[in-house]
């Protein structure tokens, strides 16, 4: 088992080192010969092998805090978990803001970061296509799947038809279930903190309930015939179902974000038939194709949603609650346009 884990890590490490060395050397092509390039690569690889096999005594990731720490697969889950953890646990995300989380290419540093972690939290429902391979490399660290036991909404149409839509967190009503799962997971690794975790969760769920009413009031201001949400990814199924909207999209999940002429034609047809005034795209994918759809359909491109990732601290969606408020503001503004281009 150790050999399998090491071979996976070394394979990833070699690919990463080659990319790094190539970039460094290409900056000064006249200063470094091919021989020196090979020697540099060998040295980098040797040092990483020592590092990863434990011959160098720095193979444990040490966060800045002495608190026990927990990892999540992406930034939104980290924000939910921090609201439950309070000051008892340090919570960090494996992926950074802006990362595409469906087909994320994890690195050796991500694997090293798991050393000493008490728990790893994933979404599940096939969202993190990379996670099972990642866990092979991490050892016996406990992990929890926040959608386990949840009845998912299914993707309709397209090649993913019948498969569960993994974006349940996009509705605050469903996010409360995530919070409950996080509480249970934290109590298992830290029973002494049970009262604090439960109290923090109750406070945060009250905020989510308030947000639910806020979003419902905002979306109800949109004329019923205009409540048709068009995005790049089919990530709004739960929000649409819970708040009385219809949806259409270019592709079902970002792991399969292939734009085909047929998909574009079908989406343009739906936009025209339903007189959708404004369409949108998500922050972690290119909006180029959706811009073309807007141009061909007569709709306006209404801006960028945050779905699979928070923004940085200075952006419009640094927290989960900010993310939903930002998205709903764009939806309300975009779908309330009174005139549609013909």
Segment 207-235, tens digit of pLDDT: 999 999 999 999 999 999 899 999 999 99
For residues 16-38, b (16+ Cβ closer than 10 Å) or e, as one string? bbeeebeeebeeeeeebeeeebe
143 against 1, higher pLDDT: 143
pLDDT of residue 237: 97
What CA–CA distance (Å, rounded) separates 83 from 322?
14
The band of 24, judged by pLDDT with boundaries at 50, 70 and 90, is very low
Closest CA to 239 of 211, 198, 201: 211
Can you give the pLDDT at residue 63?
Answer: 59
Say how far apart CA 285 and CA 232 lie, in whole Å: 8
pLDDT for 341: 57
Residue 338 confidence (pLDDT): 65
* Lookup: tokens for 158: 């397209």
Say whether 331 sits in a helix, a strand or coil.
helix
pLDDT in tens, 36-78: 444 444 434 443 444 444 443 344 455 556 889 999 999 999 9
> When comparing pLDDT for 278 and 252, which is higher?
278
The mean-pLDDT minimum among 50-54, 101-105, 144-148, 246-250 falls in 50-54
Structure tokens at 148: 């386990």
Burial of 148 (0-12, 13-18, 19+ CB in 10 A): exposed
Question: Percent of the chain scored above 90 by pLDDT?
Answer: 72
Name the pLDDT band for 6 (thresholds 50, 70, 90): very low
């Amino acid at each position: 088992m150790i050999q399998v884990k090491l071979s996976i890590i070394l394979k990833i490490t070699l690919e990463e080192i080659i990319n790094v060395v190539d970039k460094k050397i290409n900056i000064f092509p006249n200063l470094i010969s091919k021989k020196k390039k090979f020697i540099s690569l060998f040295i980098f690889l040797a040092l990483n092998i020592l590092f990863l096999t434990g011959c160098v005594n720095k193979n444990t990731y040490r966060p800045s805090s002495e608190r026990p720490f927990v990892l999540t697969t992406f930034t939104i889950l980290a924000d939910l978990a921090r609201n439950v953890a309070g000051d008892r646990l340090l919570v960090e995300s494996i992926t950074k803001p802006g990362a595409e989380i469906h087909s994320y290419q994890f690195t050796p540093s991500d694997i090293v970061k798991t050393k000493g972690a008490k728990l790893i939290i994933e979404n599940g429902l096939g969202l993190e296509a990379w996670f099972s391979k990642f866990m092979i490399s991490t050892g016996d660290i406990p992990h929890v799947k926040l959608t386990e036991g949840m009845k998912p909404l299914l993707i309709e149409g397209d090649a993913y038809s019948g498969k569960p839509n993994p974006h349940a967190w996009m509705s605050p009503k469903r996010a409360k279930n995530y919070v409950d799962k996080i509480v249970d997971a934290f109590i298992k690794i830290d029973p002494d903190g049970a009262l604090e975790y439960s109290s923090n969760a109750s406070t945060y769920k009250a905020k989510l309930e308030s947000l639910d009413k806020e979003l419902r009031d905002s979306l109800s201001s949109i004329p019923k015939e205009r409540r048709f949400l068009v995005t790049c990814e089919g990530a709004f199924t739960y929000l649409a179902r819970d708040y009385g909207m219809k949806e259409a999209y270019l592709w079902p999940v970002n792991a399969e974000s292939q734009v085909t002429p047929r998909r574009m034609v079908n989406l343009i047809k739906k936009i025209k038939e339903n007189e959708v005034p404004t369409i949108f795209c998500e922050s972690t994918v290119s909006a180029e194709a959706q811009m073309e759809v807007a141009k061909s359909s007569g709709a306006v491109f209404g801006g960028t949603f945050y779905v699979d990732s928070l923004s940085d601290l200075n952006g419009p969606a640094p927290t989960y609650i900010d993310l939903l408020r930002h998205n709903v503001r764009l939806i309300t503004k975009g779908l309330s346009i009174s005139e549609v281009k013909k």
